Amino acid sequence: MYNYLDVADETITKLHTSAQDQLPVVDRILEAQTISTHFLPFAFGKPLADGTWSEETRTDATLLAIDEIDILQANYPPGSIEPSILDRVSSRIGSVDDHERLCIIGKNIQSLKSRLWEGIIPISDQRWREKGLDRPENIALALEHLSAVLAVFAYLNDNIVRGYLRDTYNLIYDHWESLDAMLNEHRAKEGKLGPVSVANLWAVYMEFHFKMMTQRAHQWVIRHVEALRGPILEELRAHRGVTDAEGKPDETHWKLTNELQLLLETSVRADYTILMPMQGYKGVTPPKPGSGPPALYDADIEKRGPAFAERLKVLSYKIMFDKMLDAGLKTEEKSLGETYYESAMEQIEAHMQVRGELRGDSLDMIIPEPWIASIRLEKEENATIEHGLAIYRLTHGQTESEWAEFVRELESHISDWGEGQTGSEEIKQDLKLTWVDGNGFGFAEDDIAAAKTHFKQTFYSDDTGDNSNGLLDSLFLAIDSASFASYTTDTYRTNNSYILPGDLNGFVLAVDPEYDSLEGIERPDESPGYSGQMHVLGSLVWGDLFALMVSQSTGLEGLWPLAMEHPNQVYHGPTLPTNFDYTYWGIFRLVAFLVLVGIVCWYLFRYVVRVIRRLVVGILRRVW
Following DSSP, what letter does each residue of 171-237 receive, concatenated? HHHHHHHHHHHHHHHHHHHHTSS----HHHHHHHHHHHHHHHHHHHHHHHHHHHHHHHHHHHHHHHH
Note the pLDDT of residue 148: 98
pLDDT tens by residue, 300-346? 999 999 999 999 999 999 999 998 888 776 667 789 999 999 999 99
Distances (CA, A) of 203 to 84, 374, 470: 21, 21, 32
Give dist(CA 383, CA 435) in Å, integer: 22
Note the pLDDT of residue 388: 96
pLDDT band at 386 (very low <50, low <70, confident <90, very high): confident
Note the pLDDT of residue 245: 77
As a whole-number percent, the residues of the chain with pLDDT over 70 amount to: 90
pLDDT tens by residue, 24-72? 999 999 999 999 999 999 999 999 999 999 888 898 889 999 999 999 9
Q: Residue 511's closest CA among 573, 448, 564, 574?
A: 448
586 pLDDT more than 60 = no
Sort 607 into a burial class: Cβ within 10 Å, 0-12 / 13-18 / 19+: exposed
pTM of the model: 0.90
Strands 507-511 and 533-537: antiparallel
pLDDT tens by residue, 420-431? 999 999 999 999
Q: What are the extents of the domains in the chain?
A: 2-359, 386-575, 578-624
Note the pLDDT of residue 86: 96
Give dist(CA 273, CA 279) in Å, integer: 16
Residue 390 bridge partners (DSSP): 434
